[in-house]
Structure 1
C-alpha cells in the first residue's frame, strides 16, 4: 500500500501596491505576523493561513477572474467593524447565504477577500 500523500492548499500570495499599508491592515485587523524579504516581498503567518504579498500594481479581485479567499470569524459584525476601522473598504455588507453569513471587503492595496460565519 502506498504512503498517504498530503495534498492541500499551503500558501497564498497576493499582489500589493502598498506593502506597508497592507501589512499594517492585516496586523491590526487579523493579527497576522510578517517577515520581510527585501523591500518587494513580505511573508505572513496567521492562525489558519500562511502566505505572502509581493509588490505589484495589480489587484486580486474575483470580478477580474481571481479566486476569492474567504476567512472565518465567529463574530462577523465585530470583524466587519474592525475591517472598516483598519482602512478596509466594504464591497458587500453582511448578507445571508445557505449555511451562514458573510461580507466582502478590499484591503488597502485593493485585493478583495471575504469573511464568513456560521453564527
Structure 2
C-alpha cells in the first residue's frame, strides 16, 4: 500500500522488554523523557507510556506532526542518554517501529467518533 504524501502524522513506537521488577521505573523514566521531548520539540503532539499486565514490556508511543518534525527532532537524539536508560533499567530487548497515520478517529463533543482523513 502506498502511503499518501501528506498523511496526518507520524508515529514512533519503542517497545522495551524488561524484568518485571524494572517495569515501573522504566515507565516513569520514559514519561520524564517524553515530557522533555515535548518541551524541546514543538512537533511532538502526543505521547503515551504503556505497561503490559505481565510486567515484561513497556511501550513508548510518540506521535509527531509529520515525518519531517520527527526527523528534525531525531537529529538531537544523539545527545540523549538512551543507551544509559536501557542499561539502567536492564532492558533485555528493544524494538523500534514507525508508522504514517492514514486515518484517525477521535471522539467529538457530541460523543460520536469523527474520522479525520488526509
TM-score of the aligned structures, taking structure 2 as reference length: 0.32
Q: Larger % of strand: which?
A: 1
TM-score (norm 1): 0.32
Higher relative contact order (CA 8 A, sep 6+): 2
